[in-house]
Structure 1
Amino acid sequence: MTLLGASAAAVSCGRSAGGSSGKQARKLRYQGWAGQVIVPELAEDLGYLGEVKLDWVGNTISGPQDIQSAATGQIDFGGAFNGAVVKLAANGAPITSVISYYGSDRHAYNGFYVLEDGPIRSARDLIGKKVGMNTLGAHSEAMLDIYLKRHGLSQGDIHKVQPLVVPPVNTEQSLRQRQIQVGVLGDILRDKALATGGIRPLFTDYQLLGAFSAGTYVMTVRFLRQNPDTAAAFVTGVARAIEWARRTPREEVIARMEEIVRKRGRKEDATPLKYWKSFGVAETGGRITDRQLQLWVDWLAERGDIKRGKVKVSGLYTNEFNEYRPSSTSPGSSAPSASSATKTRS
């Protein structure tokens, strides 16, 4: 059995062997993002976490940093691009993905943009060109590799395309000043750049792969074993918040998130929230599937970042704590508490 398979088995055994006995955590430490409202914060504000409370300890600088903090026990849950989750787990971190929280759809996506009057029209035109993105070895570089491979470029040609780290706030300017030939833009930065004009998409991740969930929240195997009811209340509450945002008018969701930012009093700029359109989670209630993770297992193995065959996707995640059912999110229904979760599973 692999380390990852053993981790999943440990979670299951912990629950069946009375892991819910004793006092469980009721506060979950986490890191946020400046000027943003993450799904757990929305879930808490909606009352979907029941007795479980969130304990903000600061803001993160990246998804990989967030899940590393979760793996080392500095926080109780963290979220990142699924490729980062796979890589951390493959390196021995005893973490398990419990729910998807963001992705790409027709409203929420990242695009690879070029100058409208520029010569780049195809994948082959990218040979020798610079592509600016927020970080290397993550979502954007994976999308670029998949795009180039699907359009017939050899590994030798792919290596001639130059992905570069460019801060998102500087990407549009770098593209217009021709310091890079392609810029990856999403959300508010994409919409503002398109409104200015003069750029066009070469491709988007949504066009490339369709709707897909791209990132998951992780918890350690130990935390899940010791706090199964708390984990179930958290995961189910986040699932309900995802579905609330999916079915609620956009203006109402934005207003709710703006109010959350105002109430927490962190002196943040809430302007980007006006551009929110979707969390992009593809599956109902954020449930995780093999497909979401297998794509990144294969990509990382092709890059040589992990050994092929070392990671079994089934050992990377669990939906065991996700008790979301469509009927449970009807207007006026009460949020499941940590104690009620035990009754649901027994």
Structure 2
Amino acid sequence: MIKRIIPVALLLTACGTAQAAETQELRYQGSVGAVTFPELAEELGYLKPVKLKWIGNTISGPQDIQSAATGQTDFGGAFNGAVVKLVAAKAPIKSVISYYGSDKEANQGFFVLDGNPIRSAKDLIGKKIGMNTLGAHAEAVLKEYLKRGGLTAEQVKQVEPVVVPPVNLEQSLRQGQIDVAVLSGVLRDKALERGALRPLFTDIELFGPFSAGTYVLTTRFIERNPSTTRKFVEATAKAIEWTRTHGRDEVVAKYKEIIARRGRNEDATSIGYWKSSGVATTGGVIADVEIKRWIDWLEREGDLRPGQVKAEDVYTNAYNPYASGGAT
């Protein structure tokens, strides 16, 4: 009897050791004056016993996922096209959940000044388009608009995307330093309140409502921390759904509480303009089309060889309970 008990005890001990070996702390980059879904998940208690460790703020999606890929952080988020390009570069990362997108409340608009003669894609030839970063959401949408507008490859090269810090986009447009400004969220709403702007087009006019970006983890992290990975994805998914099942005022109030409590000397004014995350699917489940669309686009642009990257190389829904109808 004793001989049979000892191996079981050892097995239980070994399992406990393996469980304890998984990290219970996730390093990440935040965003000034904003609350991420993982931060909301921690506030709501969904992430326990896992905790977040803020190491600074990101400057862009591509930078955020690069930090995750190189081990400076444990997770990062970016536009799906940027994720695909990093996977193509052999970075050992995997998308695990969608975290932002575009819908009628939250979308990216390309704005010109009232009175500006720009009305079509061909009118953008020789013009400067201000956006927060290159190689991400805004540039991909711009190039799709130009393609659908009938521009040749040579004409597309004559349209100049330029990087302008988001807080300076409106001012740069009004001062004539750029011809078009890509605006979204609070910056768009504040600019429209001041008037004299006209939308040229929006991303949802091209694609309809869609999830645009995903959080990534390294494959090594996932293999070594499957339970923590599952907890991170599940908690983030629940936080997404919490914003959908609670009124806008309650969501904004909660975000303001989080910003005040974390003490990063931030201005929480922009949170008051929050309307939607734009995530198109329940619980941030990643739709195959949301990855394949950008693979196809990068192949057309010549950034990828045909078949170089497949959608299944980029993402997994294995850790999201909403993928199988769970976590109600």
Structure 1 residue aligned with 2:188, among 187, 190, 201? 190
Aligned to 1:283: 281
Deviation at residue 34 of structure 1 after TM alignment: 1.4
C-alpha distance in 2 between matches for 1:162 and 1:56: 35
Deviation at residue 21 of structure 1 after TM alignment: 3.9
Structure 1 residue aligned with 2:57, among 34, 55, 59? 59
Is contact 2:33-2:266 (8 Å) kept?
Answer: yes
Aligned to 2:113: 115
Aligned to 2:260: 262
Deviation at residue 71 of structure 1 after TM alignment: 1.0
**SS in structure 2 at match of 1:253:** helix
C-alpha distance in 1 between matches for 2:73 and 2:174: 40
- Per-residue Cα deviation, 1:165-207 (whole angstroms, up to 9, x for no partner): 1221111111112221111111111011111111110000111
**SS in structure 1 at match of 2:215:** strand
C-alpha distance in 1 between matches for 2:223 and 2:291: 23
- Per-residue Cα deviation, 1:285-325 (whole angstroms, up to 9, x for no partner): 10012111112112222222232221011111100001137
Deviation at residue 257 of structure 1 after TM alignment: 0.5
Structure 2 residue aligned with 1:125, among 98, 119, 123? 123
C-alpha distance in 1 between matches for 2:133 and 2:215: 19
Superposition pairs of residues 51-90 of structure 1, within 5 angstroms: 51-90=49-88
Q: 1:148 and 2:153 equivalent? A: no
**SS in structure 1 at match of 2:321:** coil
C-alpha distance in 2 between matches for 1:203 and 1:118: 14
Aligned to 1:237: 235
Structure 2 residue aligned with 1:203, among 201, 204, 211? 201
Is contact 2:60-2:133 (8 Å) kept?
Answer: no
Aligned to 1:28: 26
**SS in structure 2 at match of 1:328:** coil
Gaps of 5+ in 2: 1-14
Superposition pairs of residues 325-344 of structure 1, within 5 angstroms: 328-329=327-328
Is contact 2:61-2:136 (8 Å) kept?
Answer: no
C-alpha distance in 2 between matches for 1:33 and 1:115: 29
- Structure number with larger C-alpha Rg: 2
What amino acid does structure 2 have at the position aligned with 1:136?
L
What amino acid does structure 1 have at the position aligned with 2:150?
G
Deviation at residue 84 of structure 1 after TM alignment: 1.1
Deviation at residue 55 of structure 1 after TM alignment: 1.2
Aligned to 2:8: none
Q: 1:92 and 2:90 equivalent? A: yes
- Per-residue Cα deviation, 1:325-344 (whole angstroms, up to 9, x for no partner): 76734xxxxxxxxxxxxxxx
What amino acid does structure 1 have at the position aligned with 2:108?
N
Could you say if the C-alpha distance between residues 132 and 62 of structure 1 is closer, same or farther in structure 2, counting changes exceeding 3 Å? same
C-alpha distance in 1 between matches for 2:65 and 2:267: 25
C-alpha distance in 2 between matches for 1:328 and 1:80: 25
What amino acid does structure 1 have at the position aligned with 2:38?
P
What is the TM-score of this pair, normalised by structure 1? Answer: 0.87
RMSD of aligned alpha carbons? 1.5
**SS in structure 1 at match of 2:66:** helix
C-alpha distance in 2 between matches for 1:163 and 1:30: 29
TM superposition outliers: structure 1 runs of 4+ over 6 Å: none
C-alpha distance in 1 between matches for 2:69 and 2:218: 6
What amino acid does structure 1 have at the position aligned with 2:283?
G
Aligned to 1:6: none
Deviation at residue 78 of structure 1 after TM alignment: 0.8
Q: 1:171 and 2:158 equivalent? A: no
- Per-residue Cα deviation, 1:124-182 (whole angstroms, up to 9, x for no partner): 11111111111112111110110111122221221221111122111111111222111
**SS in structure 2 at match of 1:320:** coil
What amino acid does structure 1 have at the position aligned with 2:254?
R
What is the TM-score of this pair, normalised by structure 2? Answer: 0.91
User: Matched residues, percent identical?
Assistant: 61
**SS in structure 2 at match of 1:259:** helix
C-alpha distance in 2 between matches for 1:37 and 1:260: 7
C-alpha distance in 1 between matches for 2:71 and 2:134: 25
Could you say if the C-alpha distance between residues 263 and 31 of structure 1 is closer, same or farther in structure 2, counting changes exceeding 3 Å? same
The structure showing larger relative contact order (alpha-carbon pairs under 8 Å, at least 6 residues apart) is 1
Aligned residues between the structures: 311
**SS in structure 2 at match of 1:31:** strand
C-alpha distance in 2 between matches for 1:177 and 1:34: 26
